[in-house]
Amino acid sequence: MRVLLLADTHVPKRARELPTQVWQEVDAADLVVHAGDWVVPELLDELEERAAAVLACWGNNDGAELRRRLPEVARAELAGVRIAVVHETGQARGREERMRAAFPDTDLLVFGHSHIPWDTTAGGLRLLNPGSPTDRRRQPFCTCMTLTLDGGEVRDVVLHHLPPRVSTARA
């Protein structure tokens, strides 16, 4: 199962739309996982229409409509992998131990908030943050991740560097 990981899209505040490369990954994916900070529900609508499947949560910048439609923590078991998706995990220091305690029955935790890509494993829990495809903050690139779920394993994790955005908006 091919999976695209997104977080912190901040549409339309940081970009009017997602980069073309992200939409190409959406089209190629069996599942799109989004770890919150959509900002407006229109992007969720667009992803739900275009993606084969969406697993998503809300973030701290998401209003009442997104919070009504999405959980704070999304969960699924796919291809033998127990997945949880949450926006915030707190500070980087001690993250692995805190998340192992908070998500004991999880194999893969996808999170966002920092806009900083993250890939670690702690006691059987893989923690992934795809960064942001629209707002790199202090990072050298905007990013997203792809991976494969197969036979109970997370494989082929790739961090994609995206081209600089050309259509920006400030609200």
Distance CA(104)–CA(63), nearest Å, equals: 29
Mean pLDDT for each 10-residue chunk of the chain (171 residues)? 98 90 98 97 97 98 98 98 98 96 97 97 96 93 97 98 62 38
DSSP state, 89?
A: -
Question: Would you list the domain boundaries of the chain?
Answer: 2-162
DSSP state, 39?
A: B
Task: Assess if CATH 3.60.21.10 describes domain 2-162.
Answer: yes
Helix (H) or strand (E) holding 50: helix 41-50
pLDDT value of position 165? 58
Distance CA(75)–CA(85), nearest Å, equals: 6
Distance CA(76)–CA(85), nearest Å, equals: 9
pLDDT value of position 167? 44
